[in-house]
Amino acid sequence: MQVLVLNSGSSSLKFQLFHMPDAHILCSGLIERIGLNDSIFKFKTEKDTIKITQSIPNHKVGLEILSNQLLNKDTGIIKSANDIHIVGHRVVQGGSYFDKTTEITPIVKEKIKELFSLAPLHNPANFEGIEVAETVFPKAKQVAVFDTAFHQTIPEHAHKYAIANEFLTDHDIRLYGFHGTSHKYISEKAIDFLDKENSKIISIHLGNGCSITAIENGESIDHSMGLTPLDGLIMGTRSGDIDPSVIFHFAKKLDYTLEDINTLLHKKSGMLGLTGYSDLRDIQAEADKGNKECQLALHMNAYRIKKYIGSYTAILNGLDAIIFTAGIGENSPEMRQHVCQNLDYLGIILDEEKNQIRPNKLTVISTEKSKVKILVIPTNEELEIAKQAVNLFKN
């Protein structure tokens, strides 16, 4: 069985084609910097590695480039669209409708569309992936794996907002949590490594979108993102935590429309708003040159993460490990160092030499004296999605 997995982020599209159930990777790749003139398409098989820089204005164009490459007679990996048996899609927001992996039907698609407003950078891109895949691979089963599913274990006292009860009971307004597939995958790896009957873990997913999760005995018990992926940590273009009154100020004093405010907070804030750059690699390079705005933005980013580490350590009543994952978490020793500085009171002590690596497997980067293990674990949301998609049809 061949399973193609599409993982659409806010400005990226990761993909892998697996032979299942042995999880052999037939091809993999990434489209990054979507929406910019210098977007990058990477495609890798056992024989070829292709890298193209071009303008990819949106996810639909990116998916069309991918489908053409998969079917390329010289460097592609499949001879016919019918070679794909399942297409697994990461879908960010499942709302109260979906708490598990689901085969995509017209009704499921309508529900995903209804949730666009709760994940405006993601669900539309996820939906485009579904629409294109249905056209290119008409005989494949289409499966949705929801980011929100892993966080269904968050207790009511943590997911409920302090507003009138009917907003939860009648309108499903609550904390949902996101990046669940990634947090689930890496926390299971960490639990196996720790080999403890009871575990207390903080997982930190740092990419263009960023989130942090408190995990007790394998279950999510709190998470930085809320009703939408806008809340929490500072991100590439998203503000993260902000006083809601700022929105009223924008509207009343600056004459911003609701659409203006939505665009500002989702697409023009975060690291982009602070520095003019959304890609951490660009920001780090500028900071190294002495750019004060970039230096401050990096400090603010790490400071916000530290605040969550402290609060989650409190609700867990202890801590066994913290995990760094995703594009920034796995590949930025500088950001990991910023985050871990001055956390020795919590028993978190970074080994600076070990921290310099960019590992391709679970790696400990804490010192021997550190009471808390600091782990870097490469996430593999695509493999997790493939497994869940195949399991859906086992019975």
Q: Is 147 a catalytic residue?
A: yes
Asked if residue 331 belongs to a known ligand binding site, the reply is yes
Answer yes or no: are the C-beta atoms of 3 and 88 closer than 8 Å: yes
Asked if residue 90 belongs to a known ligand binding site, the reply is yes
d(CA 257, CA 218): 42
Token pair of 371, please? 């009471």
Asked if residue 281 belongs to a known ligand binding site, the reply is yes
Asked if residue 380 belongs to a known ligand binding site, the reply is no
Asked if residue 194 belongs to a known ligand binding site, the reply is no
Asked if residue 68 belongs to a known ligand binding site, the reply is no
Asked if residue 258 belongs to a known ligand binding site, the reply is no
d(CA 287, CA 306): 20
Asked if residue 329 belongs to a known ligand binding site, the reply is yes
Q: What is the 3-state secondary structure (H, E, C) of the chain?
A: CEEEEEEECCCEEEEEEEECCCCEEEEEEEEECCCCCCEEEEEEECCCEEEEEECCCCHHHHHHHHHHHHCCCCCCCCCCHHHCCEEEEEECCCCCCCCCCEECCHHHHHHHHHCHHHCCCCHHHHHHHHHHHHHHCCCCEEEEEECCHHHHHCCHHHHCCCCCCHHHHCCCCCCCCCCHHHHHHHHHHHHHHHCCCCCEEEEEEECCCEEEEEEECCEEEEECCCCCCCCCCCCCCCCCCCCCHHHHHHHHHCCCCHHHHHHHHHHCCHHHHHHCCCCHHHHHHHHHCCCHHHHHHHHHHHHHHHHHHHHHHHHHCCCCEEEEEHHHHHHCHHHHHHHHCCCHHHCCCECCCHHHCCCCCCEECECCCCCCEEEECCCCHHHHHHHHHHHHCCC
Asked if residue 206 belongs to a known ligand binding site, the reply is yes
Asked if residue 290 belongs to a known ligand binding site, the reply is no
Asked if residue 374 belongs to a known ligand binding site, the reply is no
Asked if residue 381 belongs to a known ligand binding site, the reply is yes
Q: Among 99, 147, 231, 241, which one carries the catalytic annotation?
A: 147
Asked if residue 330 belongs to a known ligand binding site, the reply is yes
Asked if residue 207 belongs to a known ligand binding site, the reply is yes
Going by the annotation, the residues of the binding site for Mg(2+) are 7, 381
Residues marked as catalytic: 147
Going by the annotation, the residues of the binding site for substrate are 90
Going by the annotation, the residues of the binding site for ATP are 14, 205-209, 279-281, 327-331
Going by the annotation, the residues of the binding site are 7, 14, 90, 205-209, 279-281, 327-331, 381
